[in-house]
Amino acid sequence: MASHGATPPVPPRPPKPPAQPTATPAPPPSEGLVISKRLLWVHGGAYPLENIVRVHTFVLTPRRAQAVGRFLKRAGITAAVIWLCLFIADGPATDSDMESVTALALLVGVGLLVYYFSDMASVAFAADHHVLAVETNGRSTALVTGKREYLEGLVREIAEAIDEPNAQLTAWVGALNITNYDNYYFGDSVNMYGGTGNTGVSK
């Protein structure tokens, strides 16, 4: 005889499904130029498309005249010091210690001339580079290099992608192997008339 008010048996709970492994996000591209999810990746660096204020191409030209002028100035000073050392070494009261110091000074002077010449040659004989620049509303600028026609086409594609929510773009571009950008003209050519304290670039 069944008793009234008895609690019905609780059915066993089904086992929990195994936890699905979380998908590992794909690493950012380390080479080339990629637009994905409103981000512009340039050789591993990310630039939000809404922060881009300008995309353009220009020719990155070495400061050859400045490099030659800097070498001539340095060489003139060094040659004057070498001449002074030779003048002292030819003096009648020159002892052996002074001759040793003079010889060391001559050796250092010649070494400096060789260094100054190699520094000048690395700029004077450097090649021009066709460059695509991506400027942001901060101080960041991304630079890539390639064929002029190809870079100009990328300018149009990047400009169109800025206003396209689902834009996707992959392009292969070269990286600039430049150790010192101060040896190159960077930016636009500007002619200024009048005023004081102006700084700029003139090609």
Q: Convert the pLDDT of each residue in 125-164 to its tens digit.
A: 988 999 999 999 888 888 999 999 999 999 999 999 988 8
Predicted TM-score (pTM) of the model is: 0.63
| Position 45 in a domain | no
Q: Which residue has the higher pLDDT, 188 or 76?
A: 76
* Model pLDDT for residues 83-99, shown as the tens digit of each residue: 887 777 666 555 666 67
| Position 110 in a domain | yes
Parent domain of 84: 64-124
Q: What is the pLDDT of residue 193?
A: 41
Cα separation, 53 vs 47, whole angstroms? 11
Cα separation, 33 vs 30, whole angstroms? 9
Examine the pLDDT at 76 and tell me if it is beyond 60: yes
Mean local confidence (pLDDT), 72-84:
89
* Model pLDDT for residues 30-52, shown as the tens digit of each residue: 678 899 889 999 988 889 999 99
Cα separation, 173 vs 81, whole angstroms? 48
| Position 32 in a domain | no
CB atoms < 10 A from the CB of 198, how many? 9
Question: What mean pLDDT is reported for the chain?
Answer: 79
Q: How many domains does the chain have?
A: 1
| Position 23 in a domain | no
> How would DSSP label each residue in 91-158?
STT--HHHHHHHHHHHHHHHHHHHHHHHHHHHHHTPPPEEEEEEEESSS-EEEEE--HHHHHHHHHHH
| Position 38 in a domain | no
| Position 100 in a domain | yes
Report residue 137: phi and psi, to 5°.
-75, 0
